Every structure is written in C-alpha cells, then in structure tokens.
C-alpha cells in the first residue's frame, strides 16, 4: 500500500509575495525550490548530517588555522623547546600516522557528502528532463493547433518550413546520440 506524500510544512517560504518586480509565478517557483532544498536537508540521516558537518568544517579556513597551530605546537614540543622531552622525535612517526588517519576519515566523509549531493543532483536533473520533455510536448501541440488555426483562417506564414520542423516531436535519445556522434567527431 502506497503512503500518501507528506504534506509540506509551512515555512517562511510560504509567505505571500514580497517583491512587486517579480511575477507571482517566479516567486512561487523560487519558494518551491527553497522548500524542496530545505526538505532534502531535513530528510538527511544522522550519518549524512555528521558527514556534511565534518565536510563543511574541513572546508573552512578555520580548519587550516587549527592544523597550522597544531602542527606548529607539535613540532615545537618535539624539538625540545620548552624543556620538554620529545614524545615523537623527528621524523615524527606518530604525527604522520595521526595525519594519515585523519586524511582517510576526512576523504571518506567528503565522499559520503559528495555521493549524497550527486544523488540529489541526479534527482533534480531527472525532474528538469521530465519538465523539459513535458513542455516540449505541450509546445508541439500548441504549434499544431496554431498551424490548424492558421490554415483554417487562411493566414500565410512567413516561414512554413520552420513551423514544420518545430511540430516534429523531439526524441531525447536521438538528440543524445547526435550529441555523442558530434563529440566523438570533434575529439578524433
């Protein structure tokens, strides 16, 4: 049994239009996009939120500053400064191991975040393609109706061959095949 889709929550994105320079359709679309992105962020699992948080932190300059300070202190302590006996003398094997482990975990968290974003991007691309194909089909029908109206009223068009080309439905597979063919020809 299929569950009904969840009702969208009311957010600030549901406020009435604020900018009189934008059409209601544009504002509604902006709000829909923002609502979908917010919903996607809310639906992340704990692990995804953790990976995104770590990735977000590691992509900031504060992360670099922390490591510069950490490595600087580590090197100073292990060169005998401050009268402390080095606990990880040169060539700093312990530091190397810790940094290597950190790199392994950081790259894993980045990959987890990238995989989630890639899935999200694929969903958006699928939606874009669906809407584009639907709009193309609708426009083809509108052009056919306009052609029928033009013929019925006896109106001469300036370039009937252009309209003839436009009323042919677009096959996405043929378009992709032609793009691939032209790319291969240009590359080789």
Backbone angles phi, psi at 89, to 5 degrees: -65, 160
CA distance 48 to 122: 17
Query: Six-digit token pair at 75?
Result: 């090197």
In a domain, 21, yes or no: yes
- Check residue 52 and give its pLDDT: 95
C-alpha separations of 39 from 12, 13, 49, 171 in Å: 13, 12, 13, 33
Question: Distance of alpha carbon 91 from its chain centroid, rounded?
Answer: 42
Q: How many domains does the chain have?
A: 2
Same domain, yes or no: 92 and 120: yes
Structural domain that includes position 176: 44-187
Specify the DSSP element, H or E, that contains 118.
helix 93-153
What single DSSP character describes residue 23?
A: -
Q: pLDDT (tens digit, 9 = 90+) per residue, 31-76?
A: 988 999 999 999 999 999 999 999 999 999 999 999 999 999 999 9
Q: Are residues 17 and 58 in the same domain?
A: no
Note whether 56 and 26 are same-domain residues: no
Question: pLDDT-derived band of residue 116, with 50, 70 and 90 as boundaries?
Answer: very high
- C-alpha torsion sign, points 32, 34, 38, 41: positive
The verdict on 31 and 59 lying in the same domain is no
């Amino acid at each position: 049994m299929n569950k009904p889709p969840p009702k969208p929550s009311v957010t600030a994105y549901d406020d009435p239009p604020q900018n009189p320079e934008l059409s209601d359709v544009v504002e509604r679309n902006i709000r829909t996009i923002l609502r979908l992105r917010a919903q996607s962020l809310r639906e992340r699992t704990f692990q995804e939120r953790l990976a995104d948080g770590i990735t977000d932190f590691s992509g900031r300059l504060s992360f670099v500053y922390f490591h510069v300070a950490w490595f600087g202190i580590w090197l100073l302590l292990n060169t005998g400064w401050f009268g402390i006996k080095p606990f990880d003398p040169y060539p700093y094997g312990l530091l190397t191991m810790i940094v290597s482990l950190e790199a392994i975990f950081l790259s894993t968290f980045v990959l987890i975040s990238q995989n989630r974003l890639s899935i999200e991007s694929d969903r958006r691309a699928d939606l874009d393609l669906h809407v584009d194909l639907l709009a193309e089909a609708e426009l083809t029908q509108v052009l056919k109706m306009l052609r029928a109206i033009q013929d019925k009223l006896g109106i001469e068009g300036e370039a009937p061959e252009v309209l003839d080309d436009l009323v042919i439905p677009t096959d996405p597979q043929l378009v992709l095949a032609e793009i691939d063919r032209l790319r291969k020809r240009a590359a080789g």
